[in-house]
Structure 1
Amino acid sequence: MKIVLFVDIPTSVMLIADALIMWAHLLAASIWVGGSIFIGIVLAPLLKTISDSVEGRLSIMIRVGRKFNKIGVPSLIVLIVTGIYNSAGVITKPSMILDTNYGIVLLIKVLLVIALIIIFAIHVRLIRGEVERKIESKELSGDALQKLRSKIITLGRLTVIISILILLMAALLHAGV
């Protein structure tokens, strides 16, 4: 069910609007998933060649993450809003969620998005400003640094994996599963 307006909008205008909304959804997905994959698969391993210290690597990773979040978080918001809009045109009544393949795949995608948001929130909370300051001032012990590094890497990998699974669900939806 698309948004109902009280004016009669020509079909061609609605088709253009729908295409622009899908374009925004795909662009936001490219930014979010592409950025996550780049950070997780390219930047993280590269940091070992840039800095010998765990503090140095963590500090760079946190700064890059903060910069990425400036475009990543708005992209994630656009993804959610445009995703709701796109699915509202297909799921016209609640029973379709569990009664159709599309609805089931969409439900899995929504659950993955919720998991992604939770993991992302934990990740952001883990590397708050106070922690960054302690890393840069070398206030954390070697053991604490290794634990923090391990948590950041694990959360980053989960973010990448879940983002890729969400893309898979999107491809299945687009294929009309």
Structure 2
Amino acid sequence: MVTIVGRGGYSVLELLVGVLMIALIAAVGVPQLLRHIQRVQLEGAAHSLASDMMRARYVGVVQNCRCRFRIDAGRGCYWWEEDRNLNRVLDPGEVLAPERTLPGGIRFDCTGVMGPPYAPTQPPPGPVTFPGSQLNAGPDGRWASPGAVYLANDWGDHAAVSVAMSGRVRVWSWNEDLRRWE
């Protein structure tokens, strides 16, 4: 009796089941991966903002000048100015730092959070709580007024950068489950 040995491999049904399993895993995992990427972008934007605030303060101390850190929440950008003659006006020859724009999907926003980050009691009045959306640092390294800047991404995650009069700049993340800043 002659037996025919079949060729090894997978049947169409087995291949289809494998492809469906991969598609199911991707359907569950891709949205979470995208959210994680946006969360990392949000944290990066908050740390960049905090770093630029600290740099403006440092420049004020080193150059013995007043630095104004300005935020335009509507356009999603910020910059700082160095007032070297301390007359509170940006004169010709004084430095205007390049404008920095928030990454795509990140915006100045405080919807759904409580503030200020160090003692949240009520919703913040706006995404930038500094008077006139500007923060002033003197040559002594102290900020003129404390406040916070609130950032959000398209997934509803929030971060904040708070500034104390002493000069401390801190980055916070909003924990939606506990309804507090961490």
The answer to whether TM tops 0.5 is no
- Normalising to structure 2: TM-score of the pair? 0.39
Higher helix share: 1
State TM-score, norm by structure 1. 0.40
Structure number with bigger Rg: 2
Higher relative contact order (CA 8 A, sep 6+): 1
Q: Which structure shows the bigger proportion of residues in strand conformation? A: 2
